[in-house]
Chains A and B, each alone.
Chain A
Amino acid sequence: MEVMSAGTERGIPGIVEMPLAVERLSNGNTLIADAGDEAGFGSEIVEVDPMGNIVWNYNEGLRFAHSGRRLRSGNTLITDTTNNRLIEVTPDKKIVVNSDDWGGGTGRLSDGSHLHYPNEAFEMEDGTFLVTDRNNDRCLQVDRKGDVIWSFGGKELHHPHHANPLPNGNILVSDSDGNRVIEVNRNKEIVWSYGDGSIETLWWPRSAVRLPNGNTLITDSKNHRLLDVTLQGKVVWKFQTEHVDKFYISHATEQGTFLISSTDGHHQVIEIDRARNYVWTFRNYRRPFPLYSHLTNGFFKNRAEKGEPEHWIFATRLSEGGGKLLWDEQNRPRPCPGIELDREGALFLQQAIAFEPGALYRVGAEIKTEGVEGSACLQMDFFDAYGGSMFQDITKTPWGEILSGTNNWTTDSFEFRVPPQATYGELRLFLNNKGRAFIKNVMLNRI
């Protein structure tokens, strides 16, 4: 075993691993919601001054928090996404509103429902909140006690993001899985929309804001671009980068610049002007996992203290609160690890390895699945020096057999070529949706 480059400690306060919602505050600072690292550590809300100093943060108990919004009172409203809750905290970090307290401590809203994977919340003019409740496919207006005043969704929204109130009283919401952005009035009528559902037009848009001139700035996330769209649906300006940036939320500042969070693509927040100059960036990411010179413990002979296979990372960030690491103790000649998911989302058992750029390799393993409703497979991903994936999207990464349902031990191996710009790769056992996948005898060599 050879650690080529050690990672830092996980969850260091102030280190931004995965910026999501961003906003420029009136004091010139920037508020960033950091969803944390791949193993689920380090989610926090940070306030950064123009020099890059962390002047405030809140990180108590947050899991994959998607948004932090500064309220008029100076408090901060946070969607604590994987914990399915909304909290309001004071500058000295006292919680003054917690959706877990609603419904007599059940966390239920006045309509009997519970927030499910909320990803955005803004304060309305009247002091109520507009919340985007992703896995309930809706956005809703609630007061500080959890009384639902208005809601929109059901059939019209598919895993929405970033519903925000407009000055005309309407709501602008990104219907992310519907690949469109819509403006809805109080009567729940769609009065404007952009995106015909095809991924060429919009692919998983995750935010949209109305600009002072009436145009709409859309973060077309999986197309790695920002679009400025007129009311007539004409694209008049765009900003697009290499495939490694995955944009999340964009914010239009009063100075006419745009703040963009480049999620786990490059782990940074950038501010660009209309001429596409970078006028400010914030990045203090430090890789929290070690990089091995070659595959290590591929036969799972050693277990680490917490029960995961030594040198492997159990990555739960995208498992929406679920996900278990298991060991098949009956397996011979020795137990082997597995991962189990009981809901939507994705789960990984992975290791980061240094590869020779441009070279051809072969990887192989034996995989067994039980009741997989989505898919399980062996997969590779490659990253550039800033930690951005080299592929357009997950479907472009090299992978082996895609298994679903129940399969006894299946030998899988495949060849792949390392992208020329890659600095490291991740070998992963991937599982999405419900089911279990076990792995053993992982091997890797250059060919």
Chain B
Amino acid sequence: MALNKEISEKRRRQCAKLIEISKDIVRQALDRFKPEELGVTWTGGKDSGLTLWIIRQVCLEKGISLPKTMIIGEGDEFEEIDQFVEKIKKEWNVPLEICRNEDVLKAAHYTLNALVNVEELNERNRAELKRIGFDEEEFPFEAESYAGNHLMKTVVFNEFLERNKIKGIFQGLRWDEHPARFNDEYFEKKEGGYLVPEHTRIRPILHFTEKDLWDAYAAFKIPYCGLYERGYRSLGAKTTSQIAVEGVPAWEQDLENTEERAGRRQDKEKAMERMRKLGYM
């Protein structure tokens, strides 16, 4: 599926420039690490999709195959994403590893919201729960809960690095997607520590805004998952992702003045105004 949107020649050149910056980050990564020491995180969503496409361009240019790519199976996936991932995997010959926390899935009987008994988990998962301060005997299996998110994503990510001896891992993060990301760097070295292997996070598309990203998709006919056409702007787990504007493709929404991640941020400006008026703060 290719995005059908008119892109001017000027805009195309701007997008090409943004992609060139990203490709240069990928080239630098290949200078620093051996191809087999690199990994890619993919979700089937728009950010990691663009990242993977850019990495592929550089790999084609250098005549090497794509680095080992991980996708996290949370047990709550959209079928549309699964199908899209399967299709791209074949077309691009992606060395894909579907990574799941089988131990947790088993304890939850592969059922959303089932109670997971902490005692039934393996030692590593118990240690991970302790690390985040989790202090109960059980929790409902839900990928987006704090504990669920940690076990199903962070732990699986670290295990992928360990298992494949990955030293540099590509991520599809962008500066404008979340305030906490404003100061992220293209290369960030993570010191190894308890339960965390030493690695470098590589973020080639940090400088893309949401609008840049969609324009690049349109200008270069980059494939994407059809859910974005139905109004989703941000894709996560199936039960917690919400359509932002029904029937309006993501790229036609008001990307600059509304929140990319749907949430319950009620009347944020009003709350800000109230807080600005709080004395002594």
Contact = CB atoms under 8 A, between A and B. Distances in A.
Interface of A: 159, 176-177, 199, 204, 222, 246, 263-264, 294-295, 298-299, 301, 317-318, 333, 345-346, 360, 362, 364-365, 374-375, 393-395, 398, 401-405, 407, 410-411, 413-417, 432-433, 441-445, 447
A14 B271 CA distance: 37
Contacts of B281: 318, 346, 393-394
A445 B132 contact: yes
A404 B132 contact: no
A372 B143 CA distance: 29
Interface stretch (B62-70, B213-221, B226-234, B259-267): B259-267
B113 interface: no
Interface string B193-236: 00000000000000000000000000000000000000000000
A263 B133 contact: no
A317 B279 CA distance: 11
Interface of B: 131-137, 144-147, 149-150, 154, 178-183, 263-268, 271-272, 274-281
Given A442-B133, A443-B133, A264 B280 contact: yes
Contacts of A298: 133, 135
Contacts of B150: 443, 445
B146 A401 contact: no
Contacts of A317: 280
Contacts of A374: 271, 274
A401 B265 contact: yes
Given A360-B180, A402-B268, A443-B133, A395 B275 contact: yes
A294 B136 CA distance: 18
Contacts of A333: 136-137
A374 B277 CA distance: 12
A163 B234 CA distance: 52
Given A417-B183, A445-B132, A445-B133, A375 B280 contact: no
B240 to A, nearest CB: 9
Given A394-B275, A417-B183, A404 B267 contact: yes
A373 to B, nearest CB: 10
Nearest to B267: A404
Given A445-B133, A445-B150, A393 B280 contact: no
B136 A443 contact: no
B143 to A, nearest CB: 11
B264 A398 contact: no
Contact of A404 (B137, B146, B266): B266
Given A263-B280, A398-B179, A375 B135 contact: no
Nearest to A374: B274
Nearest to A265: B280
B276 A432 contact: no
A395 B279 contact: no
Contacts of A263: 280
Given A402-B265, A402-B271, A443-B133, A411 B144 contact: yes
Contact of B278 (A295, A365, A394, A413): A394
A413 B133 contact: no
Contacts of A362: 146
B178 A443 contact: no
27 contacts: A159-B279, A246-B280, A263-B280, A318-B280, A345-B278, A346-B278, A346-B281, A374-B271, A393-B275, A394-B278, A395-B272, A395-B275, A395-B276, A402-B265, A402-B268, A403-B264, A404-B267, A404-B271, A415-B180, A417-B180, A417-B182, A432-B274, A433-B274, A443-B132, A443-B146, A445-B132, A445-B133
Contact of A443 (B147, B179, B267, B274): B147
Nearest to A402: B271
A401 B264 contact: yes
B73 to A, nearest CB: 20
A301 B135 contact: yes
Contacts of A410: 264
A201 to B, nearest CB: 15
Given A301-B135, A401-B263, A413 B149 contact: yes
